[in-house]
Amino acid sequence: MSRGLPFQVLAPVILLLAGFLSLLAWLGASQHQQSRAEALLRLKRLAAACAGVTIPRTPLVLEIMSDMSGAELVVCGPDGIPVVDEAGNALSTLPVSGPLPSAPTPGNLDWPDRRWLASLVPLDKESRYFLAALVDRDPIDRAARDALAGTIVAGTAAGLPCVAMALWLASRLGGRIARLKRQTERIAHGDFAPIDIPSGTTELEDLGRAVNAMASRLRAHEEESRAAERASLVGQLGAGVAHQVRNAATGARLAIQLHAKSAGEPMSEELAVAIRQLDLIELQSRQMMDLARPPRLDREPVDPAALLDDVVALAGPKCRHAMITLDWSRPVIPAPAIHADAEALRMAILNIVMNAVEAAGPRGLVRVSLAWGPDGSATFTVADNGPGPPPRLAGRLFEPFASGKREGIGLGLAVARRVARDHGGDVSWRRDRDETVFTLRIKAPTP
């Protein structure tokens, strides 16, 4: 059966206090028993000292023996009646009236209105005279009661602060744990905001940090799940449309190529541009279909500079139409080949470039550059002098459907990131002075 925190904190304290009080009570009882035993021992010693010895029966002798033993002494006959001397004085150290009850062995005696520990010792061989030794029991019992009362007072004085402190500690810890419980319930309902870290207790601080770490991982997992769901939805809704658009673009391109062949003349620049734009339509249609498919990379040696040549050629007509400067200069030193899926990588870079072209606007500037590392990695950088993404989209640029353009559907950067991650890399962006810079990096494939 589960118990609350106050009970679990208070129970050991109360048990410890009860044990402490029991120990003190036992010590008090032991002290009482020891006092009684010492009184009885004095009586036994007095009886042993008087056995077989003729003691003068005078009041002075009795006073001396009383002072030495700490007991009241009475000389009496076999019938318990006190004996008197020649002067008629009772041989007793205390006033007596009436005979004494018999007390042959040391024990309790009530006479006449007091309680005694008594011992009756014969003073002669004929048992004509007896010496009654009496020790008052009231001081012994009073000392025991005083000790017990002191025990209760001391235990209460020591225990109440302990109980109060335990209650305060239980209340404090219980309040913090209850607050953590409410905050974890909020996380369970989908609110992954960090909780307040409890202060003052290392264990609760560690628990709060662990809860925040769990919430962060849950938020990331939920975002990934939503992104996957959106990507799957895009694939399901757009696969049919994209397939039809792709087939139509393929048919139009074949018709243009057949027309150019039948004319018997070299293909004009206008027709070549039209074919390139149809290629772009096919790529954009394919990216909608590929979002819902598992990655299937066909790695092969690829010239990254030639890849950028193709991208610039595809984006060129739109840049010329909007009078946008597309700056791309091939490296003087030939770039080493990279192992990648050329078609997927071309589509990813083209998406970033087209996004930059739209962001730069008429008479804007888009710069494309290439860098590579000795480990076989390649870094493609695209910068534009546009205003940059709006703040509300700054943290969601790579999510499907995240777009600040009226006619945009927000798939280009999502596709680019997926392709980069399929190649072991990633896509990132930053604002550098007055430019928005996107960087796509792919790693060398693991042997």
Domain ranges of the chain: 5-147, 213-293, 300-442
Q: Give this prediction's pTM.
A: 0.47
Closest listed residue to residue 223, CA positions, set 400, 73, 345: 400
Averaged pLDDT score across all residues of the chain = 76
CATH assignment, 300-442: 3.30.565.10
Phi and psi, residue 431, nearest 5°: -100, 120
Q: Is 125 exposed, middle or buried (0-12, 13-18, 19+ CB in 10 A)?
A: exposed
Strand (E) or helix (H) holding 50:
helix 5-50
- Report how far residue 110's alpha carbon sits from residue 116's, in angstroms, rounded to the nearest whole number: 6
β-strand partners of 441? 379, 426
- Predicted pLDDT at 439: 95
pLDDT in tens, 371-398: 998 888 899 999 999 998 888 877 777 7
Angle between helices 202-263 and 269-290 (to 10 degrees): 150
Is the pLDDT at 315 greater than 60? The verdict is: yes
339-351 mean pLDDT:
89
Structure tokens at 357: 């072209």
Closest listed residue to residue 240, CA positions, set 292, 278, 276: 292
- Report how far residue 187's alpha carbon sits from residue 180's, in angstroms, rounded to the nearest whole number: 10
| CATH number among 2.30.30, 1.10.8, 3.30.450, 1.10.20, domain 5-147 | 3.30.450
Is the pLDDT at 178 greater than 80? The verdict is: no
Q: How confident is the model at residue 241 (pLDDT cuts 50, 70, 90)?
A: low
pLDDT in tens, 179-238: 777 777 777 777 777 767 766 667 667 777 787 788 778 777 777 777 667 666 665 565
